[in-house]
Structure 1
């Protein structure tokens, strides 16, 4: 039992030690209207944000903020993957606007973020409400922690139940393993209850302790909440049906002759036992051994499958092009993991010590074959999931999801090496301290894999991470001032090449629009120094706007210079620097 408690400690410590991945990250914003970083001539009456998957807006957390900080948006609506936000005209319409959003993606995870655009010219970016775009640190830690607890609970149900049903030595006490199953049921139920509470805080951006009855009601009536209620119902039914199937059958009275007692239940192997006392000559016939009712066994199996199905239905698997496939492989993956790790825990916690060598000689070869099959199914199902969630090979090293997956695969390689060593020991009939150490390594490393899995389900899948890059922080905006004018400009997208658009707006020192007679812009690489390339800019209507382009042939820091003539004799030059990545 000490080893089991050690497993739980490692499980929880690993989950806490891993970096808390942002929970707001699954459906990815892939576009908006007005476009991210763009400058438009007049205030819009509606803005839209398009996502990679269908989403549902969190009430009160989708808004548009005007340049002066005023909230000017109405109630957001959804059409497929597009969120539409009605907008009224701001009191001070010129400047940079902020679209702040927090929505729930199809895989039940919250997504938060912010996009800017400008009217007339860029200005200081309005501040986004913290609750609308971020997740409170207490929630960011609690989500993977309780998911890890749930995974641990599954292993503590599956492993002991498997051994008690098929491989448990008849003379060993079953009470410890049965207690472990009850602990597993309790941990899995606690994880489900925590997920219900945490979902509301993930949606609102509030702290762990700031949950309201209305928010809980909203979660419980959602698809996510109903699935978790179904999981809790399954756990309650298993708590009633499972233990009676796994308790040791009552000893029956043997008569007239001595019969060797079987070593294993369902394994087909027997161990000679000491002769029992002679039965009285006039005893009654032996009572038949009671067998579990087949209906109860079928019910337990169906409940187990139903309970496992609720996990992929509340995660990444439901928000992909082939959800039926990913849900099935998700169930297989979790079942294989629970059988493998749960069996290892049962071995290290109960059977590798204080079990006769000849009994282990029967148990271990059977378990070794089962473990090998579990690993095969685990790897196959995991490979299918990884291919679907990554979307492309470069995402394996270009996204956080892919890099975490590589770490997980590296640890899995260590586990498989330890498992291969343990299998060689079993086939060579060596089951001493070396085997116990090898199995212990398997348990510790697989525990880390469980915790990594808990973090992976909170990270953008590679397929969404690649899409999200299309809308992230490209472009450069600044305001430059001279004695004659103030110029606000935006360069987009600030990349190597010729196609970098410059959109500029000109104002008098008092803030009124100013029409220029002539515009000119240039860019000069500072190190190594290159000659400036001057480009004219075309004036637009209204007359205080101009459009041009810049070329950035090499990566480095460029000096961008605007020379603007506002009358026949009045001309001024302003400069700034822009960094261009390779």
Structure 2
């Protein structure tokens, strides 16, 4: 039975890992964690005279580099004087050259939010009157491309490595000290350390390119690496490497001196190793808490230790589960995993679930903030998926606890089997007494021949001894694997591990997704800004569209200023769902006043720059509630028309 199960187990594990990889590969690029909530001059604004500076306001503090904010004139030349500075709070500004000519200017920004994620974007404003511009803004999403994918994969590997490293070591110390001598368990924990160390080094090298150019060739740029080391994230990654050096010493003791001690000596050493390992594990977990979501926003002083507890609970449960699974399948027959170890792990897993629920509820409240954000933002939707996976995992764990209870019951697990085996032996003796005596005689003769062979050929004797030992080991393994209770526990633990892979993937995606609370705060600030523009006489309309073709989804924003009878200035901005500028083949606008049967009045705006069209002197002949229809064409055959009503005049 074991020979048929093992290939299935390997296939299932490989399938789960492949599915996790595909989920990571197909995930959208990381959303910006600091949203642009305001600017001066505003997007699409036409100012009478050149401003002295351009300022941007974000939803949270950001980190700047020398070229974080740039202002380009219509010919693509720099119009700013240099490095940006913090003006106040979350507002940052860059000064402009004096005597700038009229025309359309492009503002680009590339910053890093306080929770370590890159944020990029661009918009235009005009001095005097709009003009054509030679500036094209790259459609590359901040943190995207090959470097972005590698960085995301490195994050996943680092979480998985920490889980296996910390959880596997905790399983050995708290549940099964004899496991320190099992090669399969040793390889599991060491592989967790190797994965975490390699991923941390990779993230450190990728970080500079990830937050700036996005080019793979810049991964080994020493200047970028030096800049990364001066950031909060760089300090966290270096701290993690130093702690991993201490973890290497811990592993050497755990699988070296600790394994060679007698049982009495192990008890004395276990406490010291548990304290030292706990401190190192908590320190490694803190390197995530000090540089990501927990370090910014509401109640950061409470959120960071809560995040550390959450990560440790995940490692104790899921990492211990991996160690349990390895022990159930690959522990040597002479030293199988005992029922007491399974029972102790069950208790630790239960405590970890309680800690996860408590810390998870706090984190959810802090990051989501409202019921609408729970269902209306990507972060909230991923969180719901995570909650569902945790509930499924708890359900499977409950089944595992039932198998554990049977495994630890001496009557069902051992006594019953012993009685059955005894009955079978008695029946066999009664049915074949003569055969037994004959076998006994044959056995004596074989033993006599074996003794003569041993005396004559020591090498042959050693070979026969090894063969007998291998046969005994194989027999013990067959007897152990035939236990239906142990087999059921294996299957439930394997199912838990499969769900844990998906859970770890969703958790990684959550850490790279903009929290729901931040999304709603940014939208509220943007709405307030748009409302203030409308009060000043301008009209801004946002309309989502879907032409039905490939890459056919987006948002079109239409600005009409001053929205009155007579001549008006109109700007049309087309963006992808992720907020990046979106160039499409054609945009057309039509105005209709249905109450007076006027229109449609067509307007074909001029293309200004990437995702931006403009038209001057748009004539509105009469005040009223106008229907404004925008036709967007994303390919030769894919187009659609979206419309909204607006009060003009």
CA-CA distance at 1:141 after TM superposition: 0.8
Please tell me whether residue 425 in structure 1 is matched to residue 403 in structure 2: yes
My pick for the range that moved more, 421-430 or 104-113, is 421-430
Alpha-carbon spacing, 1:25–1:166, altered in 2? closer, same or farther (3 Å):
same
Cα deviations by residue, 1:448-477 (Å, 9 ceiling, x for unpaired):
1111221222221112222333549x99xx
Please tell me whether residue 224 in structure 1 is matched to residue 296 in structure 2: no
Alignment partners' CA distance in 1, 2:55 and 2:490? 60
Cα deviations by residue, 1:194-241 (Å, 9 ceiling, x for unpaired):
221221012212323323110001111222212211110011011013
Residue number in structure 1 paired with 2:562: 502
Cα deviations by residue, 1:58-110 (Å, 9 ceiling, x for unpaired):
3224211223433211221123311101122576413x322110011111221
CA-CA distance at 1:136 after TM superposition: 4.3
Please tell me whether residue 524 in structure 1 is matched to residue 501 in structure 2: no
Alignment partners' CA distance in 1, 2:267 and 2:399? 40
Alpha-carbon spacing, 1:501–1:549, altered in 2? closer, same or farther (3 Å):
farther
**Greater helix percent: which structure?**
2
Alignment partners' CA distance in 2, 1:311 and 1:64? 35
Q: For residues 311-330 of structure 1, what are the structure 2 equivalents within 5 Å?
A: 311-330=288-307
The list of structure 1 runs, each at least 4 consecutive aligned residues, that deviate by more than 6 angstroms after superposition, is 1-6, 355-358, 543-550
- Report the secondary structure of 1:421's partner residue: helix
CA-CA distance at 1:15 after TM superposition: 3.7
Alignment partners' CA distance in 2, 1:102 and 1:548? 43
Alignment partners' CA distance in 1, 2:490 and 2:270? 36
Give yes or no for contact 1:15–1:148 (8 Å, CA) kept in 2.
Answer: no
CA-CA distance at 1:319 after TM superposition: 1.3
Residue number in structure 2 paired with 1:334: 311
- Report the secondary structure of 2:167's partner residue: helix
Give yes or no for contact 1:411–1:445 (8 Å, CA) kept in 2.
Answer: yes
Please tell me whether residue 112 in structure 1 is matched to residue 180 in structure 2: no
Residue number in structure 2 paired with 1:39: 46
TM-score (norm 2): 0.67
How many matched pairs?
Answer: 491
Alignment partners' CA distance in 2, 1:58 and 1:382? 35
My pick for the range that moved more, 20-29 or 102-111, is 20-29
Alpha-carbon spacing, 1:124–1:403, altered in 2? closer, same or farther (3 Å):
farther
Alpha-carbon spacing, 1:115–1:361, altered in 2? closer, same or farther (3 Å):
same
Give the alignment partner of residue 281 of structure 2, picking from 281, 291, 304: 304
Residue number in structure 1 paired with 2:519: 465
Residue number in structure 1 paired with 2:198: 190
Residue number in structure 2 paired with 1:250: 260
Alignment partners' CA distance in 2, 1:549 and 1:351? 81
Residue number in structure 2 paired with 1:382: 360
Query: Superposition RMSD on alpha carbons, in Å?
Result: 4.0
**Unmatched tracts of structure 1, length 5 or more:** 253-261, 266-287, 476-488, 507-521, 535-542, 560-576
Alignment partners' CA distance in 1, 2:10 and 2:281? 23
**Unmatched tracts of structure 2, length 5 or more:** 1-5, 408-483, 531-536, 544-558, 570-589, 601-615, 632-640
Cα deviations by residue, 1:155-193 (Å, 9 ceiling, x for unpaired):
221222122213226488423222222211111111211
Q: For residues 154-173 of structure 1, what are the structure 2 equivalents within 5 Å?
A: 154-168=162-176, 170=178, 173=181
Alignment partners' CA distance in 1, 2:393 and 2:295? 29
Q: For residues 409-420 of structure 1, what are the structure 2 equivalents within 5 Å?
A: 409-420=387-398
Q: For residues 425-464 of structure 1, what are the structure 2 equivalents within 5 Å?
A: 425-429=403-407, 431-464=485-518
Alignment partners' CA distance in 2, 1:138 and 1:125? 30
Cα deviations by residue, 1:230-259 (Å, 9 ceiling, x for unpaired):
11001101101333135454366xxxxxxx
Cα deviations by residue, 1:466-519 (Å, 9 ceiling, x for unpaired):
2333549x99xxxxxxxxxxxxx9742468xxx97535568xxxxxxxxxxxxx
Please tell me whether residue 17 in structure 1 is matched to residue 85 in structure 2: no
Alignment partners' CA distance in 2, 1:361 and 1:150? 32
TM-score (norm 1): 0.74
Give yes or no for contact 1:317–1:323 (8 Å, CA) kept in 2.
Answer: yes
Alpha-carbon spacing, 1:336–1:361, altered in 2? closer, same or farther (3 Å):
same
